[in-house]
Structure 1
Amino acid sequence: MPPIPLRLSFGSTLLALALSLVLAVPATLSAQQAPLTLREEGGEVNILADSIQQVGGTTNLLIAIGGVEITRGATRLLADRVELNRDTGEAVAQGKVVFYDGEDRLVGERIDYNLKTGTGVVYNGSAFSAPYYSISGERMDRIGDGVYQIRQGVFTTCEGDEPDWSFKVGSATADLNDLIYGRDASFWVGKVPLIPWVPYFAAAIRRERQSGFLFPQAGVSSKKGLFAKVPYFWAISDSQDATVTLETFTKRGVGVDGEYRYTLSEQQRGAASGFFIRESWRDTRDRPDTPNGEDRGIFSLRHDWQITPRTAFKVDAHVTSDDFVLREYGGRLRERTQQRAETNVFLSHRWDAWSLVGNILWYQDLTTPRPVELQRVPEIRLQGTRQPVPGVPGLLYEVESSYTQFVRVVGPDGSRLDLHPRVFLPVPVAGIFTLTPFLGGRATYYDQRVVGERNARVGGMVVQESVSDDRIRRQAEGGIEAESRVSRVFDMGGAGGLAAVQHLIEPRATWLEIRGESQKAMPQYDPNIDKIGKVSQVTYSVTNRINAKTVAGPNQEAVRWEMARLVLSQTYNLLPDADQPVKDLKADVLLKPNEHFGLRGDAAWNVYGLGLRRAGVGVTGSYRDVSAGAGTRFDEITGYHTVDGDVAAKLTRHLDARAVTSWDASKGVFVENRFGLDIHWQCWAIRLEYIARHRNEDEVRFSVNLLGLGQVGTRTGAGIR
């Protein structure tokens, strides 16, 4: 964690206060009830005490007694008694001494301070700095600006006279603007010396970020052996930092993990991370067949640049050395089950009704060693949303166009240019519904012509064969859109905290006809464009929607949201040779009655006896200190069926529990289960977690977090993430 600064420089301030007293206070002052204000070059000094006396003679002593309070600017000194020797510069503050310097606070039974040399001693003192740092000692010798030598010191971030944990040191040096380090240290939990002796101790106590080593982690893995992680945080500048971690696995090798974060301006920022390991200690019989042998790694880069309010540049890059490295070294299930390592580079500009997006897509398929990737370098899209035709009242138009250069190892690659404009004429009918006839065309250019198919040498998959041939597929389309909208508002009168509920019914139907020429022998890059042929169909849907509005309280605005939605849709194929003209019935549902419960789902049902073809549902709920979620995803065609669930609960004030599960219902196995406990107090926390993976590493993780010091712990059977 970034270290935190502590400034406790009271020497110059106290010196100024004392010199103000020496030079400006009269020879004898009787007890005063009102504060005494002295105007000096550095500002006003206010002195308040039950009694202020000037004692003459060789000692020339100034004494303030009873509820002494001296303030100057942001500083304030409190004590029961303050004595100042005007000749030697020695000042002694006694009796519950408290000195405030901005956010810092120092307390002690007595402070001896030489106003001329800037040195002094704090007896039985403690230094406190926001938000939680505390350093105390039997004797604290001030040897410089904010620098102390401490005898029999205690360092902690816990509150109270008897902290839950602390580091005790025989001798230490504390730079309150930097760090504390000492010798002959011990770590105590309450009154128990959990670690009786450590030869050396150091901790950062700055408020600002500071370079330095973070607490290491260690553990053991059933596949990777004993391992250790030693992280180093590098505060490069106010806008840059990095964390570099040396990682060693006794059954794998030595690796390094790093993350670099930067902010170039308010409009430009990003982060880069990577992991590299040389598996020189790994048993060759256990090593997967990877192209780089012993060298394996992961790299990612994200960069966001808002060039202008309408122009943006983004990079989201992910690269792996092989198909298995994420599966073996990923910490979360979503990392271990990732199917693609994808790199996207976007440059976009938008107008009020138009957008231009350039994209480079390059990815690595992690599910198969076959070279099935279809790269797009680049893809340029120009789109115009539905908008009025200039000079023609009532007529609208929209445009979809793209240019793509496809690159791949197996199968046809090449260029494709697609242009798809359409015009619309909305016609309201008696204020009940709207008919919108439309006409359009599509011209798609290819520089390849498919001449056949073959079985690829790698993997045996069927691929197209093509030859260079410039050709244009030409299509004309037309149809009619029909839509309506019926709504009614119900006054709820505050029932359930609702002021009103709106019910909307939105039926919609679209008849589409497409005819064309030169529609055969097309390379199949993208089915949404390349598979379009002769079309005659009607798509119909009905949407039921419920919108809600809460009762607005005093000086509050009402909250509006979509409480429920149900969409049913289907397509009917009008072509005479269609075997099964009625397509799957599709449904999409949303339910969000309040902030505690939510449901989202979709499904597709085959009407020719095949039943449910695809479905997905997710449910979330929370009540007081318990939150839970469950979901399932099913696809009959691919054979994919998973069930996921998670629950988290605050069992007591200091104990939280959580569990996450993922079940592959198609195979009847649990992919991953996680169970965890979090025990937390004011200044420390313990996390326990057990992870069970199917045919993979099981882990037991244990970590301790000391407030202000970061995390220490072990992972039994753990990977690196």
Structure 2
Amino acid sequence: KTKLGTFEDSTGFTNQTNDGTVIYFTAEKVERTALDEVVVTKGKFTACEEAVPKWSFTADEATIKFNKKVKLKNAKFRVKDVPLIPLPYATIPIEQTDRQSGFLTPTFGFSGNKGFRVSGAYFQTLGKSADVTFRGDLYTQRGIGYGLDFRTRANSRSFFNFGFFAVKDRIFGASASPETPDEGGSTIYAEGVHYFSNGFTAATDVRLTSNLAFRQVFSDGIQQIISPIEVSQVFVNKSWNNYELNLLARSQVISIPNVRIKLRNLPSIHFEKRPAILSFLKPLYFSFQTGFEGVSRREEVDDLARYQQQVGSDPTITPSLGQRFDVFPQFTLPINTKYVNFTATAGGRVTYYSNSFNDMRQVVGRDVIRKYGEFQFDIRPVALAKNFYGKDDVFKFRHVIEPFVTYRFLKGINNFQKIIRIDELDTLTDTNEVEFGVTNRIYTRRYSEVVSDEAQKLLRGKDADDKKPLSVQPYEIFNLTVRGKYFFDKTFGGALIPGQRNQIEPITAVSFYTFGGVPRRFSPLNIDATYRPQRTIVVNTRMDIGTHGEGVRSASATIGYQRSLVKFFQTFYYTRGVDLIPSLQIYANAAGKEPGTLRGSQWSPSIFVGNRDKGPYGGTSLFFDFENRRASELSPLISSLYTVGYAYDCCSLAVQFYSFNVGVRNENRLVFSFRLNGIGSFGTEQFGQGLR
């Protein structure tokens, strides 16, 4: 009648958990003490079905709460019935929900620099839409780390995450000294997007680090270790009709040898009207942009004399809140003909700065107003296209050629050297230029009603009349753009100073790699090609070809391949220290090269093979610096990650080997991690610690 009782030498199992796992148990004694509770004496719990399970927990006493959890007292974690880890208390979640509070599976590692590392965490749910993870790390030769990660979801599209990680260094091992400095510190991060019902969108991406040494020593991602830039920003946007409002707060720190440049836009308010036709003057369009900003730039240097020798002036230190006001109206007139489309754009811009440089390049509290007029004329001839057919007149692809020419004239900036550089808006200069180029595109057909390669191939062979027009969609498989500029004004109204690096808007609009060290008529030719035959394959390459016989100035290549069992991705960057032709040698830098150009070569390949949920898997991710390491006679490999693992039916095991050899970081680390079905492998994705 009570449905309570005792069983001897019993076996049993739980309902399936959210991941489909069933927990089996055997026990000397099972006593049902309540309708939703069972007490197990001398029990063994596992998700494996073998007689000798790959993993199991044994406990002197356990309490099973139906559809909630199993509480173990005086438990032992076993592998093949061999006890490995004694646990005074443990829980196994069996509730059919996505998340359960509790201690997470720890990870272990070892490095010669930090010693033995143990990482553990506690996960706490906060309702259905939020949770927090408290984390701790022990470095036996350095100190302790601690942090938390908080996550929340306001709706299906909005999220917000924040957290921190800090390390108290030199608690263990060698004491702090000039040879073994204290490199502890902290980092705070926040990231999120929120879509409001009234049309506003807010986004944040904040990462603040107390010092560069901490980021380089305790971050686990190579990009965080080597990147000289750290950006924190909060952005709010609202678009309606033809108008757009943007609010921005941004802080940026650029750390390069001997100097740290701190830039700030706070607050920043931009209001924009997108082009709209003037009803009383058709077909003329009107648009405008306005901006009201608080800006600052502060340069902190380690060696003042060295900085003055390199730059020729003192470090730039502006007030904490300088003002920059900007107004930019434009008129656009499209002219369409049968064979050529023309677009004429004219506008004027006025920008007010509360601070400026004097003739000695010193910051003074004297305001300056930059104003200019701009005219742009864009010419787009009709695209040329030709269809190509294969055997039996089956359509193969379409080749489209799109030439373009744009003339641009900007005049009025006669105080460029007085403008304090904050961002790209401050790099505008006078210019009189023509941009020219041609884009080639290759289109094939995709059929939206079929997904397999075999079905796509069969449909290509059918007549067009047999296909539904809506199911046939063009697909761009390849594009190639070649473009360049011709400058009627080689010095951009005197803004370009020959013999030094010049990063100004007419130059950066063509290429990321500077060519502003010398005055020139023709810019390098910029080539951009992308090949994407399938959604799982992408190949992109970009390069700059010099027009003064210098050949390839810079190049990059990206390859991505993603299948269910094989994933490959690689990036390659190459830049040259460019030799100048004899007539321009007077502008060469101390190394005899074009100012601003440096030799560099980096390669980052990664590959992963297998399925993390079934059978063997493994992969590697490498990062090579061929130039800087060659100069110092070191191995070009500065970072590596090797992963080997095997996923069984009820558990998986993985081993990872990290190596870092860059800057102050020279470390090898071995990490072991394991996953138990029904329990999980939480704790391996540590946002606060920089793991991604």
Q: Report the TM-score range of the alignment, normalised by the length of the smaller protein.
A: 0.7 to 0.9
Aligned-partner residue type, residue 428 of structure 1: N
The equivalent residue for 2:560 is: 620
CA spacing shift, 1:151–1:449, aligned 2, 3 Å: closer
Match of residue 379, structure 2, among 457, 470, 482: 482
d(CA) in 1 for partners of 2:350, 2:487: 23
The equivalent residue for 1:125 is: 11
Aligned-partner residue type, residue 424 of structure 1: T
Following superposition, the deviation at residue 596 of structure 1 comes to 4.2
d(CA) in 1 for partners of 2:437, 2:38: 77
CA deviation vs aligned residue, 1:310-359 (integer Å, no higher than 9, x gap): 31122221111111111111112122223233210112111233322111
The equivalent residue for 2:669 is: 699
The equivalent residue for 1:562 is: 476
d(CA) in 1 for partners of 2:246, 2:448: 42
CA deviation vs aligned residue, 1:210-247 (integer Å, no higher than 9, x gap): 33222333443312223333311122322221111222
1:647 aligns with 2:607: yes
Match of residue 542, structure 2, among 594, 602, 613: 602
Match of residue 379, structure 1, among 246, 268, 271: 268
The equivalent residue for 1:441 is: 348
Matches within 5 A, 1:547-558: 547-553=443-449, 557-558=471-472
Aligned-partner residue type, residue 125 of structure 1: T
Deviates more, 1:132-141 or 1:269-278: 132-141
Matches within 5 A, 1:217-366: 217-265=107-155, 268-281=158-171, 283-285=175-177, 296-308=185-197, 310-366=199-255
The equivalent residue for 2:327 is: 419
Structure with the greater relative contact order (CA < 8 A, sep ≥ 6): 1 or 2? Answer: 2
Determine if contact 1:412/1:465 at 8 Å carries over to the other structure: no
CA spacing shift, 1:218–1:479, aligned 2, 3 Å: closer
Determine if contact 2:124/2:133 at 8 Å carries over to the other structure: yes
CA spacing shift, 1:161–1:128, aligned 2, 3 Å: farther
CA spacing shift, 1:527–1:288, aligned 2, 3 Å: farther
Following superposition, the deviation at residue 649 of structure 1 comes to 1.8
d(CA) in 1 for partners of 2:416, 2:106: 63
Following superposition, the deviation at residue 360 of structure 1 comes to 0.9
Determine if contact 1:500/1:550 at 8 Å carries over to the other structure: no
Matches within 5 A, 1:467-478: 467-478=364-375
Deviates more, 1:586-595 or 1:397-406: 397-406
d(CA) in 2 for partners of 1:132, 1:436: 64
CA deviation vs aligned residue, 1:168-193 (integer Å, no higher than 9, x gap): 34543222343323456554444x42
Aligned-partner residue type, residue 348 of structure 2: G
CA spacing shift, 1:599–1:221, aligned 2, 3 Å: same
1:147 aligns with 2:37: yes
d(CA) in 1 for partners of 2:392, 2:658: 45
What SS class does the counterpart of residue 649 from structure 1 fall into? Answer: strand
Match of residue 103, structure 2, among 210, 213, 228: 213
What SS class does the counterpart of residue 328 from structure 1 fall into? Answer: helix
Following superposition, the deviation at residue 284 of structure 1 comes to 1.3
Larger radius of gyration: 1
CA spacing shift, 1:288–1:466, aligned 2, 3 Å: farther
How many equivalent residue pairs?
A: 587
Following superposition, the deviation at residue 117 of structure 1 comes to 5.9
What SS class does the counterpart of residue 627 from structure 2 fall into? Answer: coil
d(CA) in 2 for partners of 1:121, 1:315: 57
Following superposition, the deviation at residue 586 of structure 1 comes to 0.5
Aligned-partner residue type, residue 590 of structure 1: T
Following superposition, the deviation at residue 494 of structure 1 comes to 11
CA deviation vs aligned residue, 1:418-450 (integer Å, no higher than 9, x gap): 222222222223x01112233221212222342
d(CA) in 2 for partners of 1:315, 1:392: 42
Following superposition, the deviation at residue 160 of structure 1 comes to 5.3
CA spacing shift, 1:552–1:493, aligned 2, 3 Å: farther
Following superposition, the deviation at residue 690 of structure 1 comes to 1.6
Match of residue 359, structure 2, among 422, 443, 452: 452
CA spacing shift, 1:499–1:185, aligned 2, 3 Å: farther
Match of residue 635, structure 1, among 575, 595, 613: 575
CA spacing shift, 1:270–1:520, aligned 2, 3 Å: closer
What SS class does the counterpart of residue 469 from structure 1 fall into? Answer: coil
1:530 aligns with 2:491: no
CA spacing shift, 1:370–1:552, aligned 2, 3 Å: closer
Determine if contact 1:704/1:713 at 8 Å carries over to the other structure: no
CA spacing shift, 1:160–1:234, aligned 2, 3 Å: same
d(CA) in 2 for partners of 1:581, 1:474: 25
Determine if contact 1:323/1:365 at 8 Å carries over to the other structure: no
The equivalent residue for 2:529 is: 589
Determine if contact 1:479/1:512 at 8 Å carries over to the other structure: yes
d(CA) in 2 for partners of 1:132, 1:494: 54
The equivalent residue for 1:575 is: 489
1:544 aligns with 2:428: no
Determine if contact 1:317/1:342 at 8 Å carries over to the other structure: yes
Following superposition, the deviation at residue 258 of structure 1 comes to 0.9
Matches within 5 A, 1:47-126: 115-116=1-2, 118-119=4-5, 121=7, 124-126=10-12
CA spacing shift, 1:580–1:527, aligned 2, 3 Å: farther
Determine if contact 2:234/2:250 at 8 Å carries over to the other structure: yes
- Flag the structure with higher strand content: 1
Following superposition, the deviation at residue 686 of structure 1 comes to 1.0
CA spacing shift, 1:235–1:392, aligned 2, 3 Å: same
What SS class does the counterpart of residue 154 from structure 1 fall into? Answer: strand
Determine if contact 2:183/2:217 at 8 Å carries over to the other structure: no
Question: In percent, how many aligned pairs have the same letter?
Answer: 18
d(CA) in 1 for partners of 2:427, 2:203: 31
d(CA) in 1 for partners of 2:380, 2:155: 47
CA spacing shift, 1:472–1:651, aligned 2, 3 Å: closer
d(CA) in 2 for partners of 1:630, 1:401: 41
What SS class does the counterpart of residue 661 from structure 1 fall into? Answer: strand
Determine if contact 1:487/1:502 at 8 Å carries over to the other structure: no
Determine if contact 1:217/1:712 at 8 Å carries over to the other structure: no
CA spacing shift, 1:401–1:568, aligned 2, 3 Å: farther
Following superposition, the deviation at residue 274 of structure 1 comes to 0.7
Determine if contact 1:218/1:227 at 8 Å carries over to the other structure: yes
Aligned-partner residue type, residue 644 of structure 2: L
Determine if contact 1:400/1:421 at 8 Å carries over to the other structure: yes
What SS class does the counterpart of residue 425 from structure 2 fall into? Answer: helix
Aligned-partner residue type, residue 422 of structure 1: Q
d(CA) in 1 for partners of 2:85, 2:232: 52
Following superposition, the deviation at residue 670 of structure 1 comes to 0.9
What SS class does the counterpart of residue 354 from structure 2 fall into? Answer: strand
Following superposition, the deviation at residue 128 of structure 1 comes to 2.7
CA spacing shift, 1:700–1:150, aligned 2, 3 Å: same
d(CA) in 1 for partners of 2:362, 2:153: 48
* Structure 1: segments with no counterpart, 5+ residues: 1-114, 454-463
The equivalent residue for 2:363 is: 466
Aligned-partner residue type, residue 326 of structure 2: D
d(CA) in 1 for partners of 2:690, 2:378: 56
With normalisation by structure 2, the TM-score equals 0.77
Deviates more, 1:484-493 or 1:636-645: 484-493
d(CA) in 1 for partners of 2:668, 2:21: 37
Match of residue 432, structure 1, among 339, 348, 352: 339
CA deviation vs aligned residue, 1:366-399 (integer Å, no higher than 9, x gap): 4456342121112222233333223211112332
d(CA) in 1 for partners of 2:565, 2:413: 64
